[in-house]
């Protein structure tokens, strides 16, 4: 196990890029570009929150990787967001005799029988800081929400009412009622999802004057 950043692979270099589902597409595109620039041959894309227990692409990557391959990631939080997750990954790397490269930080080479405990400790410490940062962010969000509630502010999306239905939807609603449009066509023309279209339709029906 070494602390060098040089790849010098003797197997396939697997690049792993992850972003949360609510992050911008540009972020994962940036990761892919940077991974390719440092030699990644096969890129695995994950659209999942870092805290998620199951990461399908990551699991498939480790299942596919063979002895002597390299796992390349740009930073620790993209790979793991807790000490337990990181320790589990380290165990897989060790068991499958892979090399784990955190670009610009450290390389953990488990292809040999001479593990370096200092490198392993560095990765675990990095995981601790990632977890601490996440906990601090959550604490700030929770504090902000409680503060807003104390001031009487409503948390979350405002309730949908008949008056909040977009005019564009109401414009095409008449064609839908005349059976000239399907729900799918109505949703497309009104620029809303089909689920939202059904919600608006239920709201209109519920507020119709009784005959």
The residues annotated as belonging to the active site are 20
Q: Which residues of 152-167 are buried (b: 16+ CB within 10 A; e: fewer)?
A: eeeeeeeeeeeeebee
Q: How far apart are CA 118 and CA 112, in angstroms?
A: 16
Q: By the 8 A CB rule, do 169 and 197 touch?
A: yes
Phi, psi of 36 (to 5 degrees): -65, -35
Token pair for 109: 């080479």
Token pair for 191: 């620029």
Where is 126: in which H helix or E strand? helix 117-150
Q: By the 8 A CB rule, do 39 and 6 touch?
A: no
């Amino acid at each position: 196990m070494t602390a060098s950043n040089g790849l010098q692979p003797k197997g396939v270099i697997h690049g792993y890029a992850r972003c949360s589902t609510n992050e911008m597409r540009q972020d994962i595109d940036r990761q892919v570009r940077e991974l390719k620039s440092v030699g990644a041959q096969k890129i695995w894309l994950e659209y999942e929150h870092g805290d998620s227990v199951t990461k399908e692409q990551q699991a498939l990557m480790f299942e596919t990787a063979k002895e002597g391959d390299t796992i390349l990631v740009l930073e620790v939080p993209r790979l793991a967001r807790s000490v337990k997750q990181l320790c589990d990954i380290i165990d897989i790397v060790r068991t499958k005799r892979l090399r784990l490269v955190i670009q610009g930080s450290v390389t953990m080479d488990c292809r040999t029988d001479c593990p370096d405990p200092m490198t392993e400790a560095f990765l675990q410490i990095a995981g601790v800081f990632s977890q601490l940062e996440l906990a601090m962010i959550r604490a700030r969000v929770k504090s902000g929400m409680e503060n807003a509630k104390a001031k009487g502010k409503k948390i979350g999306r405002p309730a949908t009412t008949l008056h909040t239905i977009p005019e564009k939807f109401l414009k095409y609603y008449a064609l839908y009622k005349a059976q000239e449009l399907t729900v799918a066509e109505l949703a497309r023309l009104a620029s809303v999802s089909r689920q939202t279209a059904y919600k608006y339709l239920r709201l209109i029906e519920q507020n119709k004057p009784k005959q």
